[in-house]
Structure 1
Amino acid sequence: MPGDPDKPRFDVPVGLFEDVEDLKAQLAALTAQVQALTAAGGPDPGQTAADDTGGEGDEEDWKYPPFILLLESPEYDDELRALIEWVEGVLVPGYLGEPSADARWCPLWFEHPVAVARLHACWLAWQELTDPATCGYTGPSVWHRDHLDPCIRELRSPTGPMAGCTKGEHQIGHRLPIPVPSAYKSPTP
């Protein structure tokens, strides 16, 4: 009887069985890969199975984005130039209002190492979180909340790295702490 609820249905599309078999094969391959990686200690973070050639050039195949304070010339200069383009082309016109006593901004921000470090970190996050392929559509919101807002709040605060800079006056050394004598050195006679 066609309407018998106890009788199994055999009119399932053939393609469904093929899909199930494909999924089983993919699961078996992934399980084997996980077991092999676990037994071998796994690749370095960021390295995919396709990158794992076991040869000498592995480190050159994958590089993390460089943090600017860890670079030396000429790489530092190139990265700073790119950062300046982003800050002056995106950040300043889009997000910064007129500087004030409560919201500082130094036009020579690139001479303040703390500002360079914070803005570079914010820029690296922007590069990652504004690409829907890597972060979906919520990435820009996350970037604003977790990266831009805290960065700008710190940079523009009255105690931030630009605190000594006012309109027309630039002070680069205003945030350097006074050297504290080390407790580990014996006093010189």
Structure 2
Amino acid sequence: MADEPDDVPELDVPVGMFEDIEDLKAQVAGLTALVRTLTAGETGEAGEPVPPPADDGPAPASDAEQDEEEWRYPPFILLLESPEYDDELRALIEWVEGVLVPGYLAEPSADARWCHLWFEHPVAVSRLHACWLAWQELTDPATCGHTGPSTWHRDHLDPAVRELRASNGPFSGCVKGEHQIDHRMPGLVPSAWRTEGDLAS
């Protein structure tokens, strides 16, 4: 053709090389688009670097971490208000009536008092709740090894029961089946056991 220069050298280029070059061009274009996407801010233009995140202190704990912290560090019951207090009292009642009473408390006597409405005595609730918190920690080998139960008996259960059942303890005015303090009637369940359906009926 007339518009082509006369001194164009003839190059012996393999056909496959052109395909390789086209592949490289496509890869470079894809990487360029990816870089622009990664370096663009939420509202910024492509190619604008993303500013470093502000240092707002430690990252908030995940839901699993928060659940673990709440389980490992439960609140003291007397610091709670309803409905949290009722939920904690319900769990405490289940532990006291299901573990402590059948496993550790013999028949009440003048020298070993017990009130079947112990949950109406704030001092008893606070001492038993503290004993229960210690039991949760010291019966878990992952946190206390194998000596935890022995420590719980010596440092928590025995002192708590001794104080509760003493002649001048919180049950000193109570005799078997009777009370010398202002209680609800024994036939009524405590408020922590009531449900919305019970209250409506």
The normalised TM-score by structure 2 is 0.57
Q: Does residue 138 of the first structure (1) align with residue 142 of the second (2)?
A: no
* AA of the residue aligned to 1:89: G
> What CA distance in whole angstroms lies between the structure 2 residues aligned with 1:160 and 1:128?
26
Equivalent residue, structure 2, for 1:151: 160
Which range moves more in the overlay, 161-170 or 120-129? 161-170
CA-to-partner distance for each residue in 1:132-152, whole Å, 9 max, x for gaps? 111000000000000000000
> What CA distance in whole angstroms lies between the structure 2 residues aligned with 1:87 and 1:172?
21
Q: Are the counterparts in 1 of residues 116 and 177 from structure 2 also a CA contact under 8 Å?
A: no
CA RMSD, Structure 1 to Structure 2 (Å):
2.1
Equivalent residue, structure 2, for 1:54: 58
Q: Moved runs in structure 1, 4+ residues, more than 4 A?
A: none
Equivalent residue, structure 1, for 2:75: 66
Equivalent residue, structure 2, for 1:167: 176
The answer for unaligned runs of 5 or more in structure 1 is 1-52, 174-189
Q: Are the counterparts in 2 of residues 111 and 172 from structure 1 also a CA contact under 8 Å?
A: no
Aligned positions, number: 122
> What CA distance in whole angstroms lies between the structure 1 residues aligned with 2:180 and 2:126?
18
Indicate how the Cα distance of structure 1 residues 55 and 142 shifts in structure 2: closer, same or farther if over 3 A, else same: same
* AA of the residue aligned to 1:69: L
> What CA distance in whole angstroms lies between the structure 2 residues aligned with 1:133 and 1:115?
29
The answer for unaligned runs of 5 or more in structure 2 is 1-56, 183-201
Identity across the alignment (%): 81
**2:85 aligned to which of 76, 79, 83:** 76
The normalised TM-score by structure 1 is 0.60
Of structures 1 and 2, the larger Rg is shown by: 2
**2:97 aligned to which of 65, 84, 88:** 88
Equivalent residue, structure 2, for 1:120: 129
Partner-residue secondary structure (3-state), 1:126: helix
> What CA distance in whole angstroms lies between the structure 1 residues aligned with 2:114 and 2:144?
30
> What CA distance in whole angstroms lies between the structure 2 residues aligned with 1:55 and 1:102?
55
Equivalent residue, structure 1, for 2:118: 109
> What CA distance in whole angstroms lies between the structure 2 residues aligned with 1:125 and 1:151?
11
